[in-house]
Structure 1
């Protein structure tokens, strides 16, 4: 098999793992629908993931970065899934939360529209467009990778990994690793950098799980503090 075929196969595997991670919050939303309440959970991870996916879709379009179909497909799925999650959240949260979601959504639209306009107007080559959009995607991904620090802090403080599921931690590690391989096969630094962080994040999560698994009270039925839940991987591209 040639390099392009191998890269395509790796990308397909990456799509499957990323789809699994996108769908990982489903039990939370089943619970929200069941109780008709968002409880203490927050919409921030899903709004951020939605923006992240749209940016990577733009990055993967032929006008910006040719030959990146698998980047577009996986993040298109991410957009559909997170729009669904945000819609459910909007349906069952109170007006203050709805107001915040509307404001954030409008700001995201304005940011994306501005990014598209600047990229297509001021940059006229694929390398220049890829660099501009790629840098923005990397910055957003790095910012999003800060969000699991809340969960990590909670794990260390409580010495409990009950709300940091091992299957999701392993998924994050596999997701970061597979997209890191994908980026390495054609050396795409903008995909590589966030997924190096994703791989490291997954290793840290699994390390914490191994360390605190024995001190976790699995019979405790309390809700996660402040709606804490392990967010899916920030970068699925």
Structure 2
């Protein structure tokens, strides 16, 4: 029964995590459409890529005992593909300064992963110590990944707009962290459960901000439309007045000519 429960939670957790990794697709459709990264930050996606790399490595038999952590491999393998795609798209449409920022963050991230993988594979000769090394680094990176939206949340509070903090991303974060915390507790693995201890409250905070500022955005949007409509009406009225003045001038000139 316990094994079946773990498997069910792992499967649902995989679905939730894939949804979490796939949530920014709408954001990057916008980036491609507008050919601009606007105010979006690349840092969460680069940290997410490192997180997926580390936990895929953690779940492989090189680090874990056989395939005991196979669910981590499947979900983070998909995450690697998606996060890498986001970073590449961001790099393509970023400004020159933005491209430099991506390189400055992404290169050290890849170096950290390579060093971790090499050291864990060759410096240690048992699974317990390998898991401890990779899991500890993965735990720190995961906490950083879940904390990275704090930058966006600060912007949301300053601008009173949730435009750059998509709701699907926040919902998927809450669901995924809750499920992985449960799964980590069931298998008694602190490196799997640990990140969610930070991720759950932060995802709840994101949802609270959505509830608070989304209504304001909805209220402000019609006002913006009304303002644009009012400006358009003013322009048309000014054109009409100018036309009337021209007609009056022509009539006056015509009368004077007849006289």
Structure 2: distance between partners of 1:151 and 1:159: 11
Structure 2 residue aligned with 1:116? 117
Mapping of residues 26-105 of structure 1, within 5 Å: 26-66=25-65, 67-105=68-106
Q: Is the 8 A contact 1:138 1:190 kept in 2?
A: yes
DSSP 3-state at the match of 2:82:
helix
* Higher RCO (CA 8 Å, separation ≥ 6 residues): 1
Q: Mind listing any 5+ residue stretches in structure 2 that lack a counterpart?
A: 225-259
Structure 1: distance between partners of 2:52 and 2:72: 9
TM-score normalised by length of structure 2: 0.76
Structure 2 residue aligned with 1:230? none
Encode CA deviations 1:63-102: one digit per residue, 9 max, x unaligned.
Answer: 2123111101101101101111122122222333323333
Q: Is the 8 A contact 1:162 1:218 kept in 2?
A: no
1:23 matched to 2:32? The reply is no
Encode CA deviations 1:114-150: one digit per residue, 9 max, x unaligned.
Answer: 1112112222221111111111011112222322222
Question: Is the radius of gyration larger for structure 1 or structure 2?
Answer: 2
1:184 matched to 2:208? The reply is no
Q: Is the 8 A contact 2:143 2:199 kept in 1?
A: no
CA distance 1:152–1:91, change in 2 (3 Å): closer
Q: Is the 8 A contact 1:160 1:217 kept in 2?
A: no
Query: How far off its partner does 1:216 sit?
Result: 4.0
Q: Is the 8 A contact 1:119 1:133 kept in 2?
A: yes
Q: Select between 126-135 and 116-125 the one with higher mean Cα deviation.
A: 116-125
1:134 matched to 2:123? The reply is no
Q: Is the 8 A contact 2:181 2:197 kept in 1?
A: yes
Q: Mind listing any 5+ residue stretches in structure 1 that lack a counterpart?
A: 223-237
How many residue pairs match? The answer is 221
CA distance 1:151–1:203, change in 2 (3 Å): same
1:202 matched to 2:203? The reply is yes
Structure 1: distance between partners of 2:150 and 2:104: 25
**Superposition RMSD on alpha carbons, in Å?**
2.3
Q: Is the 8 A contact 1:162 1:217 kept in 2?
A: no
Structure 1: distance between partners of 2:30 and 2:163: 17
Structure 1: distance between partners of 2:146 and 2:54: 16
